[in-house]
Amino acid sequence: MLRFLLHYGIHFVVPIFVALYFFKGQSLKVAIILLLGIIIDVDHLFANPIFDPNRCSIGFHPLHSYLAILVYITFLFFRKTRIIGIALMIHILADTVDCIMLFLQSE
């Protein structure tokens, strides 16, 4: 249950918090963009099975690969792509926490 709450809390609560706290003048627009960071989960459609609760997404799915993560980090350095980079990195953070929880659960 804790794993579920942390994973989806980071996916949905953290983006709203970041938008409200750091982007006061445009928080609704930014919150929507940050929440849309979950769209990279489209790469799960190429996996078999599509959803496996015991699989770590990081390094497995193409949009969760280390190369993709490097691109997302690069987005943070440019003003025009910064919010998208934040959205994608929040998503990667959520999935990383999920992987850590999965690892701890298996021990």
DSSP characters over 28-83? HHHHHHHHGGGGGGGGGGGSSSS--TT---TTTSGGGSHHHHHHHHHHTTSTTTHH
Residue 101 has what pLDDT? 94
- Domain of 28 in residue numbering reads as 2-106
Total domains present in the chain:
1
Q: Consecutive sets of 10 residues in the chain, 107 residues long: mean pLDDT of each? A: 93 98 97 97 94 94 98 98 98 97 88
Residue 107 has what pLDDT? 74
What global pTM score does this model have? 0.94
Residue 16 has what pLDDT? 98
Sign of torsion over alpha carbons 93, 12, 61, 68: negative
Contacting residues for 61 by C-beta, under 8 A, at least 6 apart: 43, 44, 46, 47
Amino acid identity at 22: F
